[in-house]
Structure 1
Amino acid sequence: MPKRILTGTVTGDKNDQTISVSVERRFKHPLLQKTVRKSKTYRAHDENNEFKIGDSVRIIECPPRSKTKRWEVYKGAEA
Structure 2
Amino acid sequence: MPKRILQGTVTSDKNDQTITVLVERRYTHPLLHKTVRASKKYRAHDEDNAYKVGDTVRIIECAPRSKTKRWEVFTEASASAE
TM-score (norm 1): 0.96
Which residue in the other structure is 1:11 paired with? 11
Which residue in the other structure is 2:26 paired with? 26
Unaligned runs of 5+ in 2: 78-82
What percent identity do the matched residue pairs reach?
78
Runs of 4+ in structure 1 over 6 Å off: none
Letter matched to residue 9 of structure 1: T
Count of paired positions: 77
Q: Deviations over 1:41-77 (max 9, x none)?
A: 00000000000000000000000000000000003xx
Question: Considering only aligned residues, what root-mean-square deviation do their CA atoms show, in Å?
Answer: 0.6
Letter matched to residue 28 of structure 1: T
